């Protein structure tokens, strides 16, 4: 019986790896496939801060270790207060969760939209959460010839089709391009006129904070803004995210959310991270410089086309016959580098990859490996 259960578990793991829930950052799976030690693999597939956890957050987690014997505070008032102070937003307009993914699933489950328009390519969990809630999903697919930049009029024109919700990421994921704040506000206003609630996923907007529409969420009954702490502050394993919305919206969502979903160590790490301004400034400087370095270097490799990014990753089109799946497999097996195959993003095929921005030493190894595989 135990062996049968173990076999079923392994079958589930393999299926999960190869289906639409495939994400970056699965080091254990990559190590199993490649026969390498997990510690030896350099992960470019998950866009996590290469500086690692903030020194202040590390100290806070260690100091909070004894708190794990007690339940976390359900209201997470310490975390909400820290987020309120950091963003200059009233606490009643903030709801925290177990990473932004918990909130992605909460929104359709609680609000029960009937028909949703999703701007694609997009994070696969949008579709999964909406389907779980029984929503009908339509896509408006961005085009490569436009560098995957959203055409806002085309989006609002599609909203005449009876949609009651719109999902859009800003910056785009996996592309990394940004919709300027004023343009996003115009899109929100047009959607509101049509009675459509807009969900803006700002998981990677830390690198372009001035373009956030978080403040608009406080005064609109038809806007939710999702945010994440896991990428910028390198606490993905602790799972802390949050959203901004009107007081009524936050109250409604909170009433249908599971209790204790943010653990006490995650809360301690998040609060300390938000207070570590030196770490934040160092991160912004590092990512800007290394992103420019990677963009130029990749652009010099034949048959690879990088797209300008406002996030901590570079999106690349492959114009060779190799394809994303084969390239990612070779990079892992031959070089010990894990890239993100983007073929499971809605609207993309097997010609696109995404790579995180890391420190210079790792970035040089990435470029050297790509040049070797492409024969340059």
> Residue 3's pLDDT is what?
41
Same domain, yes or no, for 39 and 60? no
Asked if residue 17 has pLDDT above 60, the reply is no
Same domain, yes or no, for 90 and 194? yes
> Residue 160's pLDDT is what?
82
Asked if residue 2 has pLDDT above 60, the reply is no
Same domain, yes or no, for 208 and 285? no
Question: Do the domain assignments include residue 15?
Answer: no
Question: Do the domain assignments include residue 93?
Answer: yes
What is d(CA 162, CA 180) in angstroms, rounded to the nearest whole number? 27
Domain CATH number, residue 70: 3.40.640.10
Q: Is the dihedral of CA 40, 44, 48, 50 positive or negative?
A: positive
Same domain, yes or no, for 226 and 366? no
Tens digit of each residue's pLDDT (9 = 90 or more) over 29-51: 888 888 888 888 999 999 999 99
Is residue 363 within 8 Å of residue 293, measured between CB atoms? Answer: yes
What is d(CA 157, CA 177) in angstroms, rounded to the nearest whole number? 22
Is residue 249 within 8 Å of residue 224, measured between CB atoms? Answer: yes
Question: Do the domain assignments include residue 140?
Answer: yes
The percentage of the chain sitting over the pLDDT mark of 70, rounded to a whole number, equals: 93
Number of domains in the chain: 2
Would you say the pTM of this structure is higher than 0.85?
yes
Who's near 298: CB < 8 A, 6+ residues apart? Answer: 304, 306, 314, 316, 367, 370
| Residue 269 vs residues 72, 210, 229, 263, 284: alpha-carbon distances, Å | 14, 25, 10, 10, 19
Return the DSSP state at 147. Answer: T
> Residue 9's pLDDT is what?
35
Instruction: Retrieve residue 19's tokens.
Output: 């289906």
Domain CATH number, residue 320: 3.90.1150.10
| Residue 376: pLDDT band with limits 50, 70, 90 | low
Average of per-residue pLDDT across 81-94:
98
| Residue 58: pLDDT band with limits 50, 70, 90 | very high
- Domain end among 230, 255, 275: 275
What are the strands, taking DSSP E only, across the chain? 42-43, 94-97, 115-120, 136-141, 165-169, 197-201, 223-228, 241-244, 304-307, 313-318, 337-338, 340-341, 352-356
What is d(CA 39, CA 31) in angstroms, rounded to the nearest whole number? 9
Tens digit of each residue's pLDDT (9 = 90 or more) over 127-153: 999 999 999 999 999 999 999 999 999
Tens digit of each residue's pLDDT (9 = 90 or more) over 165-175: 999 999 999 99
Question: Do the domain assignments include residue 1?
Answer: no
Question: Do the domain assignments include residue 367?
Answer: yes
Strand partners, 43: 338
Write out the residue range of the structural domain in which residue 127 sits: 55-275
Closest CA to 26 of 2, 1, 46, 48: 46
HSE, side-chain direction, 13 A CA sphere, residue 4? 1
What is d(CA 95, CA 114) in angstroms, rounded to the nearest whole number? 24
Same domain, yes or no, for 60 and 41? no
> Residue 7's pLDDT is what?
41
| Residue 78: pLDDT band with limits 50, 70, 90 | very high
Same domain, yes or no, for 117 and 258? yes
Strands 197-201 and 223-228: parallel
- Domain end among 254, 275, 296: 275
Same domain, yes or no, for 95 and 199? yes
Mean pLDDT of the chain: 92
Tens digit of each residue's pLDDT (9 = 90 or more) over 190-213: 999 999 999 999 999 999 999 999
What is d(CA 327, CA 366) in angstroms, rounded to the nearest whole number? 12
> Residue 25's pLDDT is what?
60
Asked if residue 1 has pLDDT above 80, the reply is no
Question: Do the domain assignments include residue 103?
Answer: yes
Who's near 83: CB < 8 A, 6+ residues apart? Answer: 89, 91, 94, 96, 242, 274
Same domain, yes or no, for 41 and 67? no
Question: Do the domain assignments include residue 27?
Answer: yes
What is d(CA 187, CA 140) in angstroms, rounded to the nearest whole number? 14
Helix ranges restricted to H, 137-246 = 152-158, 181-193, 214-217
The percentage of the chain sitting over the pLDDT mark of 90, rounded to a whole number, equals: 85
> Residue 149's pLDDT is what?
94
Closest CA to 197 of 233, 247, 163: 163
Same domain, yes or no, for 227 and 130? yes
Same domain, yes or no, for 135 and 48? no
| Residue 164 vs residues 20, 86, 133: alpha-carbon distances, Å | 25, 32, 14
3-state secondary structure of 24: coil
Same domain, yes or no, for 49 and 63? no
Question: Do the domain assignments include residue 345?
Answer: yes
What is d(CA 118, CA 141) in angstroms, rounded to the nearest whole number? 8
DSSP labels for 218-254? TT-TTEEEEEESTTTTT-GGG--EEEE--HHHHHHHH
Asked if residue 361 has pLDDT above 80, the reply is yes
Same domain, yes or no, for 48 and 82? no
């Amino acid at each position: 019986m135990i062996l049968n259960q173990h076999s079923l578990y392994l079958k589930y793991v393999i299926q999960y790896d190869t289906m639409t829930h495939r994400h970056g950052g699965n080091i254990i799976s990559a190590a199993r496939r490649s026969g390498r030690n997990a510690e030896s693999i350099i992960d470019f597939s998950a866009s996590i801060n290469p500086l690692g956890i903030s020194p202040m957050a590390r100290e806070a987690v260690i100091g909070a270790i004894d708190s794990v014997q007690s339940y976390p505070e359900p209201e997470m008032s310490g975390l909400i207060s820290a987020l309120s102070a950091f963003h200059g937003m009233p606490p009643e307009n903030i709801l925290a969760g177990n990473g932004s993914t918990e909130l992605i699933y909460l929104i359709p489950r609680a609000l029960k939209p009937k028909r949703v328009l999703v701007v694609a390519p997009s994070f696969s969990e949008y579709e999964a959460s909406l389907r779980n809630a029984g929503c009908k999903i339509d896509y408006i697919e961005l085009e490569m010839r436009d560098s995957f930049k959203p055409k806002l009029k085309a989006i609002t024109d599609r909203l005449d089709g009876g949609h009651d919700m719109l999902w859009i990421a800003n910056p785009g994921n996996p592309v990394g391009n940004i919709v300027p704040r004023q343009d996003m506000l115009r899109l929100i206003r047009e959607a509101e006129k049509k009675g459509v609630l807009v969900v803006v996923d700002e998981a990677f907007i830390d690198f372009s904070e001035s373009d956030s529409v978080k403040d608009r969420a406080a005064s609109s009954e038809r806007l939710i803004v999702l945010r994440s702490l896991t990428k910028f502050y390198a606490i993905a394993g602790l799972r802390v995210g949050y959203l901004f919305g009107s007081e009524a919206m936050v109250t409604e969502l909170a009433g249908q959310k599971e209790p204790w979903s943010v653990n006490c160590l995650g809360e301690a790490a998040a609060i300390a991270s938000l207070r570590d301004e030196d770490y934040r400034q160092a991160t912004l400087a590092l990512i800007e410089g290394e992103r420019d370095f990677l963009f130029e270097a990749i652009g010099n490799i034949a048959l690879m086309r990088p797209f300008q990014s406002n996030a901590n990753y570079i999106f690349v089109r492959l114009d060779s016959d190799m394809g994303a799946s084969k390239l990612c497999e070779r990079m892992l097996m031959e070089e010990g580098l894990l890239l993100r195959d983007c073929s499971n993003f809605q609207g993309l095929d097997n010609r696109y990859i995404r790579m995180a921005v890391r420190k210079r030493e790792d970035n040089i190894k990435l470029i050297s490996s790509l040049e070797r595989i492409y024969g340059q």
